[in-house]
Amino acid sequence: MSQFRLHINGEVRQVDVAPDTPLLWVLRDSLDLAGTKYGCGVGACGACTVHLNGVPTRSCMTPVATVGLKKVLTIEGLDAQARHPLQQAWVELDVPQCGYCQAGQIMTAAALLKENPKPSDADIDGAMSGNLCRCATYLRIRAGIHRAAE
């Protein structure tokens, strides 16, 4: 076990875990931030997506020892004051079906909108292609991103 100080959602949090523990499990098990989901554990589905210094990152493939001082943003910290426009659009358009992948979808979409506030369909499809949804809500996800960009 080793101690790590992590910058998570604007706060410094300390954890005592093995250095190779994936950030996903530190968030979920040590910090009670269970919005970030485990899907595949091998970087293939996007359910575990968080931002590291604004970059969408697979937390299942990120050993905690590699995080250092990078700012970690999870779905819980996406908008501390009010509902993020993506979350509002998700509600308005009833985007989720089972909902399991949606935190990862929203985190990837949030990074896209930061880079590209008015994405085209092609931009959205390109940015979101690594986030899988077994309920196939892809068209509603795309519509939700457009709504949030209005």
- 85 in contact with ligand FES (CB under 6 A): no
Angle at 102 between CA 50 and CA 129, to 5 degrees: 75
Taken as a whole, the chain contains a residue count of 150
- Beta carbon nearer to ligand FES, 44 or 136: 44
Separation CA 59–CA 23 (nearest Å)? 5
- 107 in contact with ligand FES (CB under 6 A): no
127: amino acid identity, one letter: A
**Exposure letters 52-78 (e unless 16+ CB within 10 A, then b):** beeebbbbbbbebeebeebebbbbbbb
- Beta carbon nearer to ligand FES, 27 or 48: 48
Selected from 13, 30, 38, 71, the binder of ligand FES by CB under 6 A is 38
Site pattern 45..84 for ligand FES (x: CB under 6 A): xxxx---------x-x------------------------
- Tell me how far, at minimum, the Cβ of 104 lies from ligand FES, in Å: 8
**Measured at CB, which residue is nearest to ligand FES?**
60
Number of chain residues interacting with ligand FES (CB under 6 A): 12
- 43 in contact with ligand FES (CB under 6 A): yes
The shares of helix, strand and coil residues in the chain, as percent rounded to the nearest 5, are: 40, 20, 45
Do 133 and 141 contact (CB within 8 A), yes or no? Answer: yes
Give the residues lining the site for ligand FES (CB under 6 A): 38-41, 43-48, 58, 60
